[in-house]
Amino acid sequence: MDRSDVIKLIKETHTTDAYGVQRTTASKKEVFCQVDSVTRSEFYQGGRNGLNPEMVFTMFFGDYDDERIVEWNNKQYSVYRTYLTRNDTIELYCERRGGTNAPVTTASVTTASTASTSSGG
């Protein structure tokens, strides 16, 4: 597997402050992965189910912590399904975020980089 692309995995945490207002905090981490387009079959099956499948990101399973948002090439994608493969890798099947899935703007974003440590493969 060629893990030469870097993506950002974004995990959103929802908390309620003292006034009862819900706040969203996003944390980002960079990981190496392989980037592919979805297959025709995945695209058409997803379309039948109201999805807009676009990309598959394959990475080391240990780098994934149930993040639901992926950022790649300044575009955000929503993870709609995952698939655990052989050799400790996981595939993230994603659709483009837009409209009601637009990214949430948050005041606090934490960034952690694991890209330099997980490049072995």
Q: What is the pLDDT of residues 1-58, one digit of tens each?
A: 677 899 999 999 999 999 999 999 999 999 999 999 999 999 988 888 898 999 999 9
> What pTM, to 2 d.p., does this model score?
0.76
Superfamily (CATH H level) for 5-103 = Bacteriophage SPP1 head-tail adaptor protein (2.40.10.270)
User: Residue 60 pLDDT > 60, yes or no?
Assistant: yes
pLDDT at 115: 56
Mean pLDDT rounded to a whole number for the chain: 84
Please, are residues 77 and 52 in contact by the beta-carbon 8 Å criterion? no
Instruction: Outline where DSSP puts E strands in the chain.
Output: 5-16, 22-37, 53-60, 69-72, 75-84, 89-96, 109-113
Report how far apart, in Å, the C-alpha atoms of 43 and of each of 2, 15, 34, 51, 52 are: 23, 35, 19, 8, 7
pLDDT at 87: 87
User: CA-to-CA distance for 93 and 45, rounded, in angstroms?
Assistant: 13
Ordered by start, the domain boundaries in the chain are 5-103
